[in-house]
Amino acid sequence: MKLASLPGLVLLVLLSSPATAQQTGSWGDQGDGTYRNPILNADYPDVDVEQVGDTYYMISSKQHMSPGMVILESKDMVNWTSIGHVWKRLDWAPEYDWDQMNGYSFGVWAGDLAYHDGTWYCYQIDFKHGLYMSSAADIHGPWSTPVQMLPTEKVFDDPAVFWDDTAHQAYLLCNTGTKQRTERDGKGGNENRLYKMSWDGQRIEDEGTVIYRGTGAEAAKIYKVDGRWYFLIAQWFQKKGELRDRKQVVLRSKTDSIYGPYENKIVLERGNGFARSCSQGALMQAADKSWWYTHQLIQNIDSPFQGRPQCLEPVTWIDGWPIIGQDVDGDGIGEPVRQHQKPIKGFAINAPMTDDDFSQSRLGPSWEWNHNPRDSHWSLTERPGWLRLKACVPIPKDQYAGSKDQVFWRACNTVSQRIMGTTVGSAVAKFDLSSMAPGQQAGFVRFGGQFHLLGVEVEDSMKKHLFFMNHDGTKLIGPEITTQILFLRTRNLADQARFEYSTDGETFQSFGPEFTLVFGSWTGDRLGLFCWNENEEAGCVDIDSFRYDYDGPKATR
């Protein structure tokens, strides 16, 4: 698929028209009282949702990105905006720091968000370091220093918590994999273990009880509905001759005890035209008592280049079971819906903020750094209205402990945000090159499983030239840049992308080959700004603006 094949009308409408608060597209809020799945068509995996009053709060993991565990809010379950993060820095392990850059694929994994007795709690399991918890009086923070509740030797991933006010007992359920298995009873799969937790939510009080085992069983959530306990768990299934499918399972207690016994039922599976598996999310309830479920699309397709987006499904309770989506084929299991009436009407179309003129005193919550940034080497105040990135020397290759050893992966202070949608997009940034120094390289990068970048490199003579670099470090040298202002743009049609440049922001020229966007390290493609100097810590680049247009709902300031 070539970018040149993009229909002119689509390009005109989606990439050139000014954004409005009511912009719609092929997904999300349709502006007519309905929505189309996905509702949040970007890399927002592993979510949990907590409702307080009439507002829904969502968290989503993003591994080594810093700050960690993004928080979003919504009034209608369809339109979500980013409001902050739980952890300003991933400071519980040194490999996430700017001088190590060795946390790819790890860091913040799936978490659980809870609100109890006026306090917010967030739990997550870093696969390399164990179960952590932070708390806050306000969802916007500040959040407490993370407390380790279990070591990595005992837990695998995906915690869920519940405060049972009737019994005055708190619980935590998580996937311990095979890490605590002491007997070989022929039963395979992950063990999901239920622990008693202290009422203040900070300590585990027993050795835990195995509640469920299953192939890849994880991502548990705990609910109590009409006196019955329900555990939602995602699990892999495969019948002979069929593709493997990650389905949503519900465990339902037969008594009023949280320890069971439990019976289980599959309540959501792939279907209705969705190629990707559908599971792992959270139940929500509207004011009219209707039930809804948000879940991710799993990455089990050839090119999940944008990562794992969120879908919203209606939930119908049948014989005490929450059937998710619509039972299209009549087998008693729900399939995801394509388009549906919104749960709550009357709220404006919205989305996470993508555009930025860098006029605020803080970076917007859509921006995240590749590992913890070097805070002395970036600023929004040294030149008000501009983001300044100061060049650092990348970690020397012979001193780098990670497996991703190309220079981009070893260079700190890359800041980026998620791509939106899978159809078409165009992002442009305005750079001032006047403060760059010899040896410095800075520009625009797209990265996920691989990286491709377009930038400017300064020679010893102070001449500047354009360059393109691909994921194996191959560099294509471009023309000399004689202007101080440079616009860099990237466009994509599905998973095919390319870079362009301009000196006036109006007429753009393509440079470098077309390339394929790739999912990897549990991360979808991202749009980023980079800056490094392989010779010395000298030079900086200023970015005046960033604009991103795509096929879908868009926020405006």
Predicted confidence band of residue 2 (pLDDT cuts 50, 70, 90): low
**pTM to 2 decimal places:** 0.96
Average pLDDT over residues 274-303: 96
- Alpha-carbon 469 to chain mean position: 25
The Cα 498–Cα 492 span in angstroms is: 7
Average pLDDT over residues 323-330: 96
Residue 332 shares a structural domain with residue 427:
no
Does 212 have pLDDT greater than 60? yes
Cβ within 8 Å of residue 550, ≥6 positions away: 14, 25, 354, 419, 420, 421, 423, 424, 425, 426
pLDDT of residue 240: 86
3-state secondary structure of 410: helix
Question: Mean pLDDT of all residues in the chain?
Answer: 95
Q: List the domain range (segments joined by +) for residue 243.
A: 39-341
pLDDT digits (tens, 9 = 90+) for 101-144: 999 999 999 999 999 999 999 999 999 999 999 999 999 999 99
Residue 286 shares a structural domain with residue 147:
yes
Nearest residue to 296 (alpha-carbon basis) of 318, 268, 321: 268
The Cα 139–Cα 58 span in angstroms is: 11
Which of 273, 306, 341 terminates a domain? The answer is: 341
Residue 318 shares a structural domain with residue 375:
no
Q: Is residue 361 part of a domain?
A: no
Among residues 29, 43, 46, 48, which one is catalytic? 46
pLDDT digits (tens, 9 = 90+) for 511-544: 999 999 999 999 999 999 999 999 999 999 999 9
147 within 8 A of 156, measured Cβ to Cβ: no
Does 20 have pLDDT greater than 80? no
Which of 341, 358, 381 terminates a domain? The answer is: 341
10 membership: H or E segment, kind and range: helix 8-11
Q: Is residue 347 part of a domain?
A: no
Among residues 48, 218, 495, 551, which one is catalytic? 218
The Cα 267–Cα 537 span in angstroms is: 56
Q: Is residue 415 part of a domain?
A: yes
Q: Is residue 521 part of a domain?
A: yes
108 within 8 A of 90, measured Cβ to Cβ: yes
Give the domain CATH number at 295. 2.115.10.20
Residue 90 shares a structural domain with residue 153:
yes
CA-to-CA separations, 431 to 328, 502, 529, 531, in angstroms, rounded: 51, 11, 10, 12
Annotated catalytic residue 218: yes
Q: Is residue 358 part of a domain?
A: no
| 3 state SS for 514-535 | EEECCCECCECCEEEEEEEECC
Q: Is residue 360 part of a domain?
A: no
The Cα 394–Cα 380 span in angstroms is: 22
Residue 318 shares a structural domain with residue 384:
no
pLDDT digits (tens, 9 = 90+) for 143-192: 999 999 999 999 999 999 999 999 999 999 999 999 998 776 557 899 99
Query: Residue type at 210?
Result: V
CA-to-CA separations, 115 to 122, 132, 141, 201, 405, in angstroms, rounded: 9, 16, 13, 11, 41
Residue 142 shares a structural domain with residue 277:
yes
Residue 293 shares a structural domain with residue 434:
no
Query: Residue type at 8?
Result: G
Give the domain CATH number at 401. 2.60.120.200
Does 54 have pLDDT greater than 90? yes
20 within 8 A of 29, measured Cβ to Cβ: no
Q: How many domains does the structure of the chain reveal?
A: 2
509 φ/ψ angles, rounded to the nearest 5 degrees? -120, 140
pLDDT digits (tens, 9 = 90+) for 428-477: 999 999 999 999 999 999 999 999 999 999 999 999 999 999 999 999 99
The Cα 418–Cα 421 span in angstroms is: 10
Predicted confidence band of residue 241 (pLDDT cuts 50, 70, 90): confident
Annotated catalytic residue 432: no
pLDDT of residue 4: 52
3-state secondary structure of 376: helix
Residue 479 shares a structural domain with residue 539:
yes
Residue 326 shares a structural domain with residue 463:
no
Proportion of the chain above pLDDT 70, given as a percent: 95
Residue 226 shares a structural domain with residue 372:
no
Residue 257 shares a structural domain with residue 402:
no
Q: Is residue 404 part of a domain?
A: yes
Residue 326 shares a structural domain with residue 408:
no
Q: Is residue 24 part of a domain?
A: no
